[in-house]
Amino acid sequence: MKLLVAIAPQNYRDEELNEPLTIFHKSGIEYDIASTKTGNCIGMLGGSTQSSLTFDRIDPSLYAGIIVIGGVGSPPYLWGNKDLIKLVGVFYASKKLVAAICLSPVLLARAGILQGKKATFFRTPESLAEMKLGGAVITETPIVIDGTIITANGPSAAKAFGNAIISALSP
């Protein structure tokens, strides 16, 4: 089983990436990291990781789900990325896991998959407006699971987010 992990090329939230990846590794789940570019990507807290794929070069059939990491890099790099929005739609239509944390649930709203679905996210005036526009049923809880969609509200929920993904993938 393999997951696709999407991050911004800069200013992704370090712990929102690192904590789930640690959980995936311990659970024996493989993953690929993708971004708008390949190579070194820099986190908000100074960490770095390597992206091996760009969003336009991904075959969704190779993955059990897509995980979109948040951080302040999400609005400028991910929210409007047409390739990533399309991927989210394909994963959702294929009944595969779609998960997003922090500011990145907005991407799911923009992909049109949160209409009438419960979701949580990191609140800013802009993210709240986007989530409402996308028809999400907004909740205040740190983690929300609605069908094949998992959302989390930020760094403090990163570990629970990783664990929720593992639970959703378990038969």
Section 81-93 average pLDDT: 98
Please report the domains of the chain, with CATH numbers, ordered by start residue: 2-169 (3.40.50.880)
Q: Are 30 and 169 in contact (CB under 8 A)?
A: no
Model confidence pLDDT, tens digit, residues 107-126: 999 999 999 999 999 999 99
Give strand pairing partners of 137.
118
Q: Are 101 and 154 in contact (CB under 8 A)?
A: yes
Position 161 scores a pLDDT of 98
Q: Are 56 and 84 in contact (CB under 8 A)?
A: no
Model confidence pLDDT, tens digit, residues 4-14: 999 999 999 99
Side-chain-facing half-sphere of 155: CA atoms under 13 Å: 10
Rounded Cα distance between 137 and 106, Å, is 13
Side-chain-facing half-sphere of 45: CA atoms under 13 Å: 9
Q: Would the pTM of this model clear 0.75, i.e. be above it?
A: yes
Calculate the average pLDDT of the chain: 97
The confidence band for 171, taking pLDDT boundaries of 50, 70 and 90, is confident
Dmax (CA) for the chain in angstroms is: 38
